[in-house]
Amino acid sequence: MSVKDDENEKHTKESEVIVVMVPFPAQGHLNQLLHLSRLISAYSIPVHYVSTSIHSRQAKLRVQGWDPLSTPNEIIKFHDFPTPPFVSPPPNPHSASKFPLHLLPSFYAALHLRAPVGELLRALAPTTRRLVVIYDFLISSVIQDVASIPNGEAYSFQCVSAFRVSSTVWEITGEPPEIDEQIVKQIPSRSATITSQVMDFIKMQEHHKYSSGVLFNTCRPIEGPFLDILAKVNTKQWAIGPFNPVEICDFSSHVRHRCLEWLDKQVPDSVIFVSFGTTTSLTDEQIEHLALGLEASGQKFIWVLRDADKGDIFTGDVRVCELPRGYQDRIKVSGQGMIVRDWAPQLEILAHTSTGGFMSHCGWNSCLESIAMGVPMATWPMHSDQPHNALLVTKVLRIGVVVRDWERRDELVQSLTIENAVRELMASRQGEEIRKRTAELGMAVKRSVADGGEMNDFIAHIRRYTDN
């Protein structure tokens, strides 16, 4: 038998490629890499999803558009590793920063995953030709041991928009992008969107020397010009998103949420969906203004009114956000709206024909889901990458309207401001033009996904038989 035949026989006895997915322990991050696990497993590549016991359970419980529990275990295998106990304070709606600082103890606890992740990598390495680690850039210190794996290589996942990452490059180089100068002037500095405590955590994660390339949850129809900018500084990069399903399947065993039944009774494009994600806590005063603004707009709405996630969502009491007296009964009797206080099926809501707008904190997951479903946005950024995403949506892509101006982020958003923004999006000529642009962009995104896009290129890269 020749050396080549011997090598071929060896490859048939082991996995061609194994992927280890290492997400950051916050909902929007867990969600993105779990969706990516589904996409990669569709190429018959085994995926190992690694997280803390709490966050792995959270990811599986909340994923939408598909059921990870119905996926064969040999395709996506979950590893739930314990971490040291941590104590997180409750979310503080009155905090000067809207960043969920109460989650920092859980973030630091997750850094202890380095030892079990390293052990897993060493166990998997002999069973595959190439061991590929995909890690959220915010938890890069956990995957350092991949450097000692001869057949291992790691890829940094940027969990934020290419627009946000580009802005950091512009700050460093001083070279603004080739977009409208007035938009450039509105781009917030990185220091204005995150706190010093968060910056300290990020500095601990500067281990990107182990990265063989960068992955983005986006696509060229959404962020082509900014991907071109980043290609000048990244040796290898792939825009392989959106990761979330762009078509919602009808599960025969799926129990529909009650809000979907309410949506079934509404006319197309008549309802605005209101949700601010899992990391934001609004004050009672702001909730009152939002409630009155939605009601005064005269538009139908579904409002997910929940407090921010705790470090462990499965323990302890959760604050019940207060509404004005009699408000919930009033909108129920009038049929104008619906308040949802539990976990809501956001993807299914956005995909519903009755949904015509989305008032959002502009987390990158929410932006991508809204764009993919062709739903225009009313932007209310809170922290981190959200101000950049809001600017991308409203000024660059022109598929949304502003509710909360980032420059006035320390001020209460008045009910009249909310009322006017909702009417502009849902019941104006400008809103119709925005809706048309969003629908066109959504179709372009769907076509890019259907074509395989750069995902095919990335899969071909990790399956290559050379070391280049």
How far is Cα 130 from Cα 248, in angstroms, rounded to an integer? 33
Q: What are phi and psi of 304, to 5 degrees?
A: -85, 105
How far is Cα 288 from Cα 235, in angstroms, rounded to an integer? 50
67 part of the active site = no
Torsion of the alpha carbons at 438, 439, 440 and 441, rounded to the nearest 10 = 50
Phi-psi region of 398 (alpha: psi -120 to 50; beta: other; left: phi over 0): left
Q: What are phi and psi of 376, to 5 degrees?
A: -70, 160
Query: Which residues have CB under 8 Å from 34's CB, separation 6+?
Result: 21, 23, 49, 59, 60, 63, 68
Pairing of strands 47-52, 15-22: parallel
Beta bridge partners of 214: 156, 237
Hey, what are 11's tokens? 């490859």
Q: How many CB atoms lie within 10 A of CB 96?
A: 9
How far is Cα 23 from Cα 133, in angstroms, rounded to an integer? 11
Pairing of strands 377-379, 400-402: parallel
DSSP state of 414: -
Cβ atoms 412, 461 nearer than 8 A: no
How far is Cα 43 from Cα 15, in angstroms, rounded to an integer? 13
How far is Cα 417 from Cα 134, in angstroms, rounded to an integer? 42
Tell me which of 48, 55, 102, 136 is the catalytic residue.
Answer: 136
User: Which residue bears the tokens 């204005």?
Assistant: 192
240: helix, strand or coil: coil
136 part of the active site = yes
Q: Taken in order 55, 56, 57, 58, is the CA torsion positive or negative?
A: positive
User: Which residue bears the tokens 């308040």?
Assistant: 339
- Give me the active site residues, please: 29, 136
